[in-house]
């Protein structure tokens, strides 16, 4: 920044605004305002004469401008040399912070704005026009003039070797100019000294509450082990970065823009948090955990106060920031790095800065997936070979794991080199007969002295071989062609034997003889059943295979080598004579489904990086393997992953690689289509293994963060960000941690997108088709209506046993009877009709709905009644209904006893409700008399008459019953992680909501018409309703009612209404156990078909945005249940 021409005291302004934001995992403040020392030197008490601050500052600017123009700001090393020899001190950091919290925020902002203007005007030599230089100097002078003079002096006193620094700066200009500048500085210093101080009200460090605070605290806790492990007083991570990183006009401007966009109060609060933390630092300048938490929370809230695009621009313009990130992560163990990453993911989501998070992720952690390519595979084979598996070990591992090691696959490169050695002797050789088992055991015994003699941790046989042998398409094809022909069962046996051997091996990477025998026998059986021409093809395609064999044999005494060679020949002959097991071909997995779609998107996003590399010659993994030792834990983790994967998908992934290989170019890069197929195959393969098994691979691979940094250095940052975003979607679809939300990725977010009153009303109708006629839904709606839009899928005849029990609960001519007695009488009278109707086929409601339009009045009446129902009585009614559903038979008819219990429970619920609201439902239901007549026509006239009389009696008893006043419950607030995430989802899905005519949409009509009810889905909905928080049910209903007030002619509410409804539903669902919600999705028939219809109504870009927002909501909901 000092190189930009802002003279000596520029950074004071920037530091005051931005010093805290420069590190998300904060360390101590180190030299971030060093140039302030120079200005502090002359702003301290000096002999005085009076002049106005403005005039004196302008005079200083004019006097110093010749120096500004004379210095080559791109190369000057004044500060580099100073910083290289001056240690950080707690006193200096404290003085800088103490001054910063005392600066007038308005004057600070003015100074930064002046500086931004000057940067925009500066030329390629980093020099701004004189006018801008004057404005910056005046703004800084005013800022310091209003500050406490003792705090300015404290900075001067605490700056180590400040006089030497000042002398070095003055040496940059002719003596006459230096003298004039010094005189002008003295005049300005005196004017500053005489100026009155502006008292700045103290601002406390931000609290740790709220979603950002909680997430940032978690991040602080996860990163603290790394913070403690470093000596911040002496660490050179930033020194090296600064020394080799040039300034750019764009990065300077981006920093200044970010500072201007942040909340001044939060800037003060973040500075105060640093100052508080400084009080507790130890000799290595490490603060306490509490101090680290407070600083991290303050910075997170500070960043969240600026627009995401502004923050993103800082990362986009800072040169080579990924190199800095790599150096930071290299300072901590992988397990801590992963924990920090996971915590950062939560913090970034809480900050809700989509683009901020992605940049950091792509530079730091997620590239561990991108890094695992076939080049990686080849090198990991080397590590595996070092474990003591002799020559043909990797063939087994390759067959199971070769595909899973590349999430963004690269070309095939020597990934089964040790196989060459075994292939060499498994090719046709002079014969004598022996059983495969016996011959394999004999080979194991003969080779074991060599296994024990070799130092597997250091042997470089394969390293040297691979360093001089190029990759060829022919070799890759031969390996893959053999792999798809191996018997999956025998492959699995070989890997299991290897896993057992790894578990038994000692620190020298040597397993006991018994295990070595088992591995050799298992591999021999696997190869014996394979096509012999394909084994020979591997041998023929392996470059310089004889040299490799000779090098291996040179590892053992000649007598042992000869015995091993003879045993190999015997085994080769036995293998040659063995019958081949024909393996049915398996096609590459299709690209459909959520995993397929997400992985295809990842492939498309990462393809520019894939194309940019020369996979035949890239050395990224060579360097990594050369310095990375194998570990028993990482080998075991790879084998466990292979054993856990679906064998069919392993074959499919291998076939995808083979297909892709047909289209590779001279750099071993396949076509986009081939890359897509391979990526999809690998994603589906990984998804077939338990998440914990896959995670263990990454947790145990040493120093993978260093590899990640090298990979990312090969691609433009914009491509890295796109790849990360696509990877995030793929990983979510693979269901890494979301468990129940795997199904969410399949149904995507249509359950949210369905939130409208048309959807709600249609789902009410589906409920009514169960025989609940017109006002039954009021009961069920009170518990479930809000959740129907978040967990969509119509309820079709799912409460059949309640047939017509509420059809005439509106006020009718009266005579008195107790509610319980009258309800039981109605149940008994209507039961013959309940048994007579074929609930699976009756079309009374289908015909009614086909000709009756939705109205705002009907929706309002239903909701208005729902919020007035007694929550306890509603729950009793739903519980009775659940009991009845559990007892009903295949004809959807429940026993009379259950029918009575349901009818009584509903009657009590309506009897306690306001009668005018019940009547309003009746009045607002279109053509209600026609509907009633249609129901009565379902039963013999005598039964119909008896039912009607019983209904009239119950209606009168209900009318006479006292009303239970229900306290109103407001719609849930939008705060907290769930509220914030759901609001974001609402904003993302609103364009689709607005584009549909909900008064006329047929999406749900068609679905309901062709989807039968099931006892399981009805029971799942009722269980979900019973599990939800009654207060949140009322709140969600109120949110719908509020939103209804703002609907237009298409029954679309305002954005605010849509936000409130979405938040209410999200919080409602979060109140129920995840397993209960998941069961709804598992039991609703053909919900994918409904989802497809929903997505067909919206542009794909809107669908993707909605999906991404939904993932965040689902994550927040899931987190609430942990």
pLDDT digits (tens, 9 = 90+) for 677-692: 988 888 888 888 887 7
Q: What is the pLDDT of residues 764-783, one digit of tens each?
A: 233 222 322 222 222 222 22
pLDDT band, residue 1009 (cuts 50/70/90): low
Q: What is the pLDDT of residues 683-722, one digit of tens each?
A: 888 888 887 787 787 677 765 545 544 554 555 544 554 5
| Topology classification of domain 210-365 | Peridinin-chlorophyll Protein, Chain M (1.40.10)
Crossing angle of the two packed helices 558-577 and 436-453, in degrees rounded to 10: 150
| Superfamily in which the 2-194 domain is placed by CATH | Peridinin-chlorophyll A binding (1.40.10.10)
Q: Tell whether the model's pLDDT for residue 157 goes beyond 60.
A: yes
Q: What is the pLDDT of residue 1020?
A: 86
pLDDT band, residue 411 (cuts 50/70/90): very low
Other beta carbons within 10 angstroms of residue 42's beta carbon come to 22
Q: What is the pLDDT of residues 667-676, one digit of tens each?
A: 778 899 998 9
Q: Tell whether the model's pLDDT for residue 914 goes beyond 90.
A: yes
674, 493 Cβ separation under 8 angstroms: no
Phi and psi angles of residue 1092, each rounded to the nearest 5 degrees, phi first:
-60, -40
Q: Which range (142-156, 799-813, 838-852, 1043-1057) has the least confidence?
A: 799-813
The residue with tokens 């029971």 is: 1019
Q: What is the pLDDT of residue 327?
A: 56
pLDDT band, residue 909 (cuts 50/70/90): very high
Which one is predicted more confidently, 611 or 799?
611
Instruction: For residue 464, give Cα distances in angstroms to 381, 475, 547, 589.
Output: 14, 18, 11, 37
Q: What is the pLDDT of residue 717?
A: 45
Instruction: Name the token pair of 736.
Output: 């890494």
What is the DSSP code string of 174-239?
-HHHHHHHHHHHHHHHHHHHHSPPPP----PPPPS-HHHHHHHHHHHHHHHHHHHHS-TTT--HHH
Q: Which range (165-174, 334-343, 766-775) has the least confidence?
A: 766-775
Tell me if 2-194 shares its fold with 798-848+855-960: yes
CA distance 888 to 885: 5
DSSP state of 1046: T
Give me the CATH code for the 798-848+855-960 domain, please.
Answer: 1.40.10.10
Residue 838 CB contacts under 8 Å (≥ 6 apart), including other chains? 891
Architecture of domain 390-577: Alpha solenoid (1.40)
Phi and psi angles of residue 870, each rounded to the nearest 5 degrees, phi first:
-70, 115
Please give the average per-residue pLDDT across 361-379, as a whole number: 26
Which one is predicted more confidently, 793 or 969?
969
Which one is predicted more confidently, 1077 or 163?
1077
CA distance 320 to 423: 46
Which one is predicted more confidently, 333 or 194?
194
193, 146 Cβ separation under 8 angstroms: no
Crossing angle of the two packed helices 105-121 and 249-261, in degrees rounded to 10: 150
Please give the average per-residue pLDDT across 946-964, as a whole number: 88
Q: What is the pLDDT of residues 510-560, one digit of tens each?
A: 889 999 899 899 988 998 999 989 888 887 877 776 777 777 777 777 787
Residue 802: name the closest of 880, 702, 914 by CA. Answer: 880
521, 500 Cβ separation under 8 angstroms: no
Q: What is the pLDDT of residue 83?
A: 63
Which one is predicted more confidently, 371 or 524?
524
Which one is predicted more confidently, 460 or 135?
135
Please give the average per-residue pLDDT across 455-483, as a whole number: 74
Q: 201-205, 798-802, 1078-1082: which has the highest mean pLDDT?
A: 201-205
CA distance 696 to 334: 11
Q: 56-60, 725-729, 936-940: which has the highest mean pLDDT?
A: 56-60
Q: Tell whether the model's pLDDT for residue 912 goes beyond 90.
A: yes
Q: What is the pLDDT of residues 776-820, one digit of tens each?
A: 222 222 222 222 222 222 222 222 222 223 332 323 223 334 899
Q: What is the pLDDT of residue 308?
A: 76
Q: What is the pLDDT of residue 715?
A: 54
Give me the CATH code for the 744-755+970-1120 domain, please.
Answer: 1.40.10.10
Percent above pLDDT 90 for the chain: 9
Q: Tell whether the model's pLDDT for residue 5 goes beyond 50.
A: no
CA 800 to chain CA centroid, nearest Å: 43
pLDDT band, residue 284 (cuts 50/70/90): confident
Q: Which range (49-58, 94-103, 1053-1062) has the least confidence?
A: 49-58
Domain ranges for the chain: 2-194, 210-365, 390-577, 744-755+970-1120, 798-848+855-960
223, 289 Cβ separation under 8 angstroms: no
The radius of gyration of the chain from alpha carbons, rounded to an integer in Å, stands at: 37
pLDDT band, residue 606 (cuts 50/70/90): confident
Q: What is the pLDDT of residue 36?
A: 28
Q: Tell whether the model's pLDDT for residue 879 goes beyond 90.
A: yes
pLDDT band, residue 372 (cuts 50/70/90): very low
pLDDT, the chain, mean? 69
Please give the average per-residue pLDDT across 1027-1033, as a whole number: 90
Q: What is the pLDDT of residue 303?
A: 84
3-state secondary structure at position 59: helix
pLDDT band, residue 630 (cuts 50/70/90): low
Q: Tell whether the model's pLDDT for residue 472 goes beyond 60.
A: yes
Please give the average per-residue pLDDT across 309-318, as a whole number: 77
Instruction: Name the token pair of 372.
Output: 């695992």
Q: 132-136, 155-159, 341-345, 842-846: which has the highest mean pLDDT?
A: 132-136
Q: 33-47, 632-646, 702-716, 761-775: which has the highest mean pLDDT?
A: 632-646
CA distance 913 to 545: 87
CA distance 99 to 152: 7
Other beta carbons within 10 angstroms of residue 962's beta carbon come to 7
């Amino acid at each position: 920044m000092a190189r930009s021409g802002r003279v000596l005291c520029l950074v004071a302004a920037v530091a005051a605004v931005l010093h805290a934001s420069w590190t998300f995992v904060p360390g101590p403040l180190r030299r971030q305002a060093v140039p302030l020392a120079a200005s502090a030197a002359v702003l301290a008490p000096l002999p005085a004469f009076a002049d106005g601050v403005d005039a004196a500052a302008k005079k200083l600017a004019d006097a110093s401008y010749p120096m500004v123009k004379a210095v080559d700001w791109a190369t000057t090393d004044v500060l580099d040399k100073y910083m290289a020899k001056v240690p950080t001190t707690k006193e200096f950091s404290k003085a800088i912070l103490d001054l910063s919290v005392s600066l007038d925020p308005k004057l600070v902002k003015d100074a930064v704005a002046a500086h931004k203007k000057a940067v925009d005007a500066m030329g390629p030599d980093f020099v701004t026009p004189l006018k801008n230089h004057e404005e910056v100097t005046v703004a800084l002078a005013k800022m310091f003039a209003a500050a406490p003079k003792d705090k300015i002096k404290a900075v001067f006193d605490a700056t180590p070797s400040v006089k030497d620094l000042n002398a070095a700066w003055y040496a940059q200009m002719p003596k006459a100019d230096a003298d004039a500048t010094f005189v002008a500085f003295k005049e300005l210093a005196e004017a500053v000294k005489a100026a009155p101080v502006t008292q700045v009200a103290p601002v406390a460090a931000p609290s740790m509450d709220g979603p950002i605070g909680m997430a940032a605290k978690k991040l602080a806790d996860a990163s603290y082990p790394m913070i403690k492990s470093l000596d911040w007083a002496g660490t050179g991570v930033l020194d090296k970065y600064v020394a080799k990183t040039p300034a750019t006009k764009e990065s300077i401007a981006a920093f200044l823009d970010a500072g201007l966009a942040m909340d001044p109060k939060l800037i003060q609060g973040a500075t105060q948090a640093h100052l508080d933390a400084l009080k507790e630092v130890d000799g290595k300048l490490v603060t306490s955990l509490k101090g680290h938490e407070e600083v991290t929370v303050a910075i997170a809230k500070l960043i969240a106060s600026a627009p995401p695009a502004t923050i993103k621009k800082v990362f986009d313009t800072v040169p080579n920031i990924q190199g800095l990130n790599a150096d930071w992560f290299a300072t901590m163990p992988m397990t801590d790095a992963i924990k920090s990453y996971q915590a950062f993911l939560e913090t970034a989501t809480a900050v809700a800065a989509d683009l901020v998070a992605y940049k950091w992720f792509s530079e730091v952690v997620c590239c561990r997936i991108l890094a695992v390519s076939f080049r990686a595979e080849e090198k990991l084979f080397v590590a595996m070979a070092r474990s003591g598996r002799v020559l043909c070990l990797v063939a087994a591992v390759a067959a199971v794991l070769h595909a899973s090691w590349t999430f963004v696959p690269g070309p095939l490169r020597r990934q089964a080199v040790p196989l060459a050695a075994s292939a060499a002797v498994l090719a046709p050789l002079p014969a004598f007969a022996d059983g495969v088992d016996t011959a394999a055991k004999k080979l194991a015994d003969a080779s074991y002295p060599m296994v024990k003699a070799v130092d597997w941790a250091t042997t470089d046989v394969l390293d040297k071989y691979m360093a001089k042998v190029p990759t060829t398409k022919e070799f890759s094809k031969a390996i893959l062609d053999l792999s798809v022909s191996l018997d999956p069962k025998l492959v699995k046996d070989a890997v299991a034997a290897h896993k057992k051997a790894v578990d038994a091996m000692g620190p020298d990477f040597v397993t006991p003889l018994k295990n070595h025998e088992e591995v050799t026998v298992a591999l021999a059986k696997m190869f014996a059943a394979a096509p012999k021409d394909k084994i020979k093809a591997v041998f023929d395609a392996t470059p310089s295979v004889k040299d490799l064999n000779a090098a291996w044999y040179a590892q053992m005494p000649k007598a042992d080598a000869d015995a091993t060679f003879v045993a190999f020949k015997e085994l080769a002959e036995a293998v040659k004579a063995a019958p081949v097991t024909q393996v049915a071909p398996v096609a590459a997995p299709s690209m459909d489904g959520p995993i397929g779609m997400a992985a295809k998107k990842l492939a498309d996003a990462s393809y520019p990086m894939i194309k940019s590399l020369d996979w035949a010659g890239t050395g990224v993994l060579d360097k990594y393997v050369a310095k990375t030792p194998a570990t028993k834990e990482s080998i075991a983790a790879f084998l466990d992953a292979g054993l856990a994967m679906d064998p069919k998908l392993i074959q499919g992934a291998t076939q995808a690689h083979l297909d892709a290989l047909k289209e590779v170019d001279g750099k071993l890069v396949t076509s986009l289509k081939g890359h897509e197929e391979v990526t999809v195959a690998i994603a589906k393969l990984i998804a077939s293994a338990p998440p914990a098994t896959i995670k263990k691979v990454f947790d145990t691979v040493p120093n993978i963060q260093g590899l990640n940094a090298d990979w990312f250095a090969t691609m433009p940052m914009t491509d890295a960000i796109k790849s990360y975003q696509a990877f995030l979607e793929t990983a979510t679809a693979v269901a890494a941690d979301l468990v129940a939300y795997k199904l969410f990725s399949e149904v995507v977010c249509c359950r949210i997108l369905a939130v409208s009153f048309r959807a709600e009303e249609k789902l009410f109708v589906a409920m009514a088709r169960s025989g609940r006629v017109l006002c039954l839904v009021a009961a069920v709606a009170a518990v479930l209506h809000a959740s129907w839009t978040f967990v969509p899928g119509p309820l079709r005849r799912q409460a059949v046993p309640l047939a017509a029990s509420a059809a005439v609960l509106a006020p009718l001519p009266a005579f008195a009877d107790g509610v319980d007695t009258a309800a039981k009488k109605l149940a008994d009278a209507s039961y013959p009709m309940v048994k007579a109707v074929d609930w699976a086929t009756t079309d009374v409601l289908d015909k009614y709905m086909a000709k009756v339009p939705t109205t705002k009045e009907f929706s309002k009446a239903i909701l208005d009644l729902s919020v007035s129902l007694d929550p306890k009585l509603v729950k009793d009614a739903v519980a009775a209904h659940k009991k009845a559903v559990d007892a009903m038979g295949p004809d959807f008819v429940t026993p009379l006893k259950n029918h009575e219990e349901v009818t009584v429970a509903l009657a009590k619920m309506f009897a306690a409700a306001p009668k005018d609201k019940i009547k309003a439902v009746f009045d607002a239901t279109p053509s209600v008399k026609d509907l009633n007549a249609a129901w009565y026509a379902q039963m013999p006239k005598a039964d119909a008459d008896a039912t009607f009389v019983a209904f009239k009696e119950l209606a009168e008893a209900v009318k006479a019953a006292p009303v239970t006043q229900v306290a109103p419950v407001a719609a849930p607030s939008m705060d907290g992680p769930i509220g914030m995430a759901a609001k974001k989802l609402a904003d993302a899905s609103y364009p689709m909501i607005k584009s549909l005519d909900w008064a006329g949409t047929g999406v749900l009509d068609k679905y309901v018409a062709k989807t039968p009810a099931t006892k399981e889905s009805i029971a799942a909905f009722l269980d979900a309703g019973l599990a939800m928080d009654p207060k949140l049910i009322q709140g969600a209903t109120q949110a719908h009612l509020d939103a209804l007030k703002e609907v237009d002619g298409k029954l679309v509410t305002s954005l605010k209404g849509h936000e409130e409804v979405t938040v209410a539903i999200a919080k409602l669902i979060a109140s129920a156990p995840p397993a209960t919600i998941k069961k709804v999705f598992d039991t609703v028939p053909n919900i994918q078909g409904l989802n497809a219809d929903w997505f067909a109504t919206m542009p794909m870009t809107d669908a993707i945005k909605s999906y991404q927002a939904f993932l965040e909501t689902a994550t927040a909901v899931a987190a609430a249940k942990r």
